[in-house]
Amino acid sequence: MAENNGFTREVAHRIFAAEFKEANMQVKEGSDQYSPQYLITPTGAKVNRVFIVGTLTEKEDVGSEAEFWRGRIVDPTGAFFVTAGQYQPEAAQVLSRTTPPEFVAVIGKPSTYTTKEGNVLTSIRAESMQVVDAATRDRWVVDAANHTTKRLEKLAGNEPNAVKAKEHYNTNAEAYKAMVTQALESVRAQ
């Protein structure tokens, strides 16, 4: 049932913070101004939506007139920046009423920002955010590890996204494998 009036919902990818932070390769499918934007990550995920679970450690309202919330969400490999403004009212509401530290799940769109120095910063524009429990967080780490491992296996192959990722990032697969191992061990250690 791939066709649904020509519209299919984008899958929410599971990406670790360390990998997401490195991602800076944007591609657009089609030339239409409404064509979806994708972010290709170092392990070759082509991402238009992400699903992450981690610990909300900091939050701040950086908006001037309307509220604009920014949160820092930490997983075993690093931190995500998540934003929610007036166009993401539900996520903004949850972020505003949640006191860190707290486990949260976020579904959102990747977005990138290029600084004056030319550095690309990645963040997630939250579509929705909810407070979850520790078990869900652990399950997510395993889920993300599973998907990252699968992508690493494909990275050696010839799939277009894998090839693009290798060309662009010159991905060090061993380093990402070590990241996965470390993430898994952190769950186990508890």
Partner 1 sequence: MKEIAKQIEARFLELGVKVQTGEIENKLEQLVNQYKVPPEEARRNVINSLLKKHNLQKSDFFTPRETPQVKASDIKQDGKWVTLRAKVVQLWDANQESISQVGLLGDESGTIKFTKWAKASALPTLEEGKCYIFKNITTSEWQGQFSVKINKTSEIIPISEDIEVGSTPTEFSGAIVDIQSGSGLIKRCPECNRALVKGACGEHGKVEGLYDLRVKAVMDDGERVQDILLNREITEALTGITLEKAKEMATEALDQAVVLDMIKNKLVGRYYVVAGAKLDRFILVETIRQDVKPIEEDIKRLLATSAAPIAQEA
**Binding test (CB under 8 A) with partner 1, winner from 6, 7, 9, 118:** 9
Q: Which residues contact 180 (CB under 8 A, 6 or more apart)?
A: 16, 145, 148, 149, 152
In the structure encoding, which two tokens stand for residue 76, read together? 């075993």
Q: Which residues contact 163 (CB under 8 A, 6 or more apart)?
A: none
Q: Minimum CB separation from partner 1 for residue 139, in Å? A: 5
**Pairing between strand 50-61 and 46-47?**
unpaired
**Residues 73 and 122: beta-carbon distance below 8 Å:** no
74 is a site residue for partner 1 (CB under 8 A): no
12 is a site residue for partner 1 (CB under 8 A): yes
* CA trace torsion 179, 184, 186, 190 (10° rounding): 180
107 is a site residue for partner 1 (CB under 8 A): yes
86 is a site residue for partner 1 (CB under 8 A): no
**Binding test (CB under 8 A) with partner 1, winner from 40, 73, 84, 106:** 106
47 is a site residue for partner 1 (CB under 8 A): no
**Residues 152 and 177: beta-carbon distance below 8 Å:** yes
28 is a site residue for partner 1 (CB under 8 A): no
102 is a site residue for partner 1 (CB under 8 A): no
51 is a site residue for partner 1 (CB under 8 A): yes
189 is a site residue for partner 1 (CB under 8 A): no
Dist CA 12 CA 171 (whole Å): 22
Where on the chain is the footprint of partner 1 (CB under 8 A)? 1, 3-4, 8-14, 49, 51, 53, 90, 104-107, 127-132, 135-136, 138-140, 142-143, 145-147, 149, 152-153, 155-156, 166, 173-174, 177, 180-181, 184-185, 187-188
